[in-house]
Structure 1
Amino acid sequence: MEIILLERVEKLGAIGDVVTVKNGFARNYLLPNKKALRANETNRKLFEVNRHKIEADNADKRAEAEKASKGVEGKTVQLIRQASNVGHLYGSVSARDIVDALEADGAHVTKSQIVLDRPIKAIGMHDVRVALHPEVAVTIKVNVARSPEEADLQAQGIDVMAQMFERDAAPAPEELNPAVDADAAEDAVAETADEAVAETADAPEGEATAEAPAAEASDEPPATDDGEQA
């Protein structure tokens, strides 16, 4: 369908531009929201007659949006939600949730002004665009966490999920490197052997040890070469 834009529409054009769009987009969004007119001969003439007023009204709305943006731009809102151990939300954060959080912080916006490129389904810091006017948009941060303490850490720039994974991956004391334990055991055995050698060296000369008992004396006379006793 060919239409005449009554205001700037992102990725389509500016006021007065005649563009072609899909029929469903025109009928379901542009026309009912008074963002465009069907591009027939009657509407072309009507637009030209009212162009000056349309552009003046748009300028006034843009000025109001720019003024309102000062109370919204750069804001951070906090949302506490339940989530799994890996940070996935049980559900998702909606535009209405963000509007309510901004309202509680003194910033007044509408649901249609919240631009979510994709649903928020995980904890963390998320940048969200707020379109206060077709030509005025600001960015806010949405801090989604499982607790106020976790939200405070995220606000400080700490990635709580990465921190959690690092803590879980750290080995417990009993899980130390087996190679290191083997080296320590080998050193202990060597030290024990050295002590045993030192004790043997310090024993009095001629004293028998447990490992090498002294030979017992014999009462029999020594044998002669021919086998007879002396």
Structure 2
Amino acid sequence: MKVILLERLEGWGGLGDVVTVKDGFARNFLLPRQKALRANNANLKVFDAQRAEIEARNAKTKEAAGKAGEKLDGTSYILIRQAGESGQLYGSVSGRDVSDAISAEGGKIERSMVAMDKPIKTIGLHEVKVRLHPEVTVTVSINVARSQDEAERQARGENVISSQFEEERVAAEEAAADLLEGGAGQIEGDYSRE
């Protein structure tokens, strides 16, 4: 189906472009959300007559998104999740979780604005892109941790997984040294066979 784009769509084109898209994409996404018009003679005339108004409205929403993006860009959010010893989450952090965390802190975004290729499945610091407008994208930092203390350590730049294994290794070495020092396992006497 040929449509006239009413806003810039990544991978498709800019405002006013006539593009061919799949029928389902046009009927189920573009047309109901007023992102495009069917490309026929009547709609082309309507678009040409209202082009200045559509461009002004698009510029206004872009400016509003830019102002909101200045407040949001570079901010950090902490998500506490359960994870195994290796740092693998028992679940995952999805776009919905990120949008809920940002909204809880006072940001106004929708789940569809969070651009994640795949869910987050490990603890650590993760950069996530948020598309406030087709032409305005900001990056936020998501700190996924098992506890608030661990989140603070990660924020300082510490790798909590490797430090946890290092702490366990040092504790095991100390325990082994204590055993040897205390004489555990050493029995005095002559046990030679005659």
Shorter-chain TM-score range: 0.7 to 0.9
Q: What is the distance in 2 between the residues matched to 1:133 and 1:81?
A: 30
The yes-or-no answer on 1:29 pairing with 2:29 is yes
- The offset of 1:37, in angstroms, is 1.4
- The offset of 1:28, in angstroms, is 2.3
Letter in 2 for 1:104: A
Letter in 2 for 1:103: S
User: What secondary structure does 1:55 align onto?
Assistant: helix
- The offset of 1:3, in angstroms, is 1.5
TM-score normalised to structure 1 length = 0.70
The worse-fitting range, judged by mean Cα deviation, of 148-157 and 100-109 is: 100-109
Q: What is the distance in 2 between the residues matched to 1:61 and 1:18?
A: 22
- Asked if 1 retains the 8 angstrom alpha-carbon contact of 2:89 and 2:121, the reply is yes
- The offset of 1:11, in angstroms, is 1.4
Letter in 2 for 1:21: V
In the other structure, the counterpart of 1:87 is 87
Aligned length: 175
The yes-or-no answer on 1:71 pairing with 2:71 is yes
Q: What is the distance in 2 between the residues matched to 1:23 and 1:84?
A: 45
In the other structure, the counterpart of 1:149 is 149
- The offset of 1:131, in angstroms, is 1.0
Summarize deviations over 1:71-90 as a string: whole Å, max 9, x none: 21111000000112222212
Q: What is the distance in 2 between the residues matched to 1:98 and 1:84?
A: 21
Gaps of at least 5 residues in structure 2 are: 178-194
Summarize deviations over 1:31-70 as a string: whole Å, max 9, x none: 2211111222222222111111100100111111111112
- The offset of 1:172, in angstroms, is 2.5
User: What secondary structure does 1:44 align onto?
Assistant: helix
Aligned residues: CA RMSD: 1.9
- The offset of 1:109, in angstroms, is 1.5
- The offset of 1:143, in angstroms, is 0.4
In the other structure, the counterpart of 2:133 is 133
Label 1:162 to 1:54 Cα distance change in 2 as closer, same or farther (>3 A). Answer: same
- Asked if 1 retains the 8 angstrom alpha-carbon contact of 2:92 and 2:121, the reply is yes
Q: What is the distance in 2 between the residues matched to 1:97 and 1:109?
A: 12
- The offset of 1:152, in angstroms, is 0.7
Label 1:25 to 1:166 Cα distance change in 2 as closer, same or farther (>3 A). Answer: farther
In the other structure, the counterpart of 1:159 is 159
In the other structure, the counterpart of 2:185 is none
Q: What is the distance in 2 between the residues matched to 1:143 and 1:8?
A: 32
Write out aligned runs for 1:41-120 (5 A). Answer: 41-120=41-120
In the other structure, the counterpart of 1:172 is 173
Q: What is the distance in 2 between the residues matched to 1:115 and 1:157?
A: 25
Label 1:54 to 1:88 Cα distance change in 2 as closer, same or farther (>3 A). Answer: same
Larger Rg: 1
Q: What is the distance in 2 between the residues matched to 1:2 and 1:163?
A: 57
Q: What is the distance in 1 between the residues matched to 2:85 and 2:98?
A: 24
Q: Percent identity?
A: 51
- Asked if 1 retains the 8 angstrom alpha-carbon contact of 2:77 and 2:101, the reply is yes
Q: What is the distance in 2 between the residues matched to 1:108 and 1:151?
A: 24
Summarize deviations over 1:116-141 as a string: whole Å, max 9, x none: 12111211111111111111111000
Letter in 2 for 1:172: E
User: What secondary structure does 1:137 align onto?
Assistant: strand
- Asked if 1 retains the 8 angstrom alpha-carbon contact of 2:95 and 2:119, the reply is no
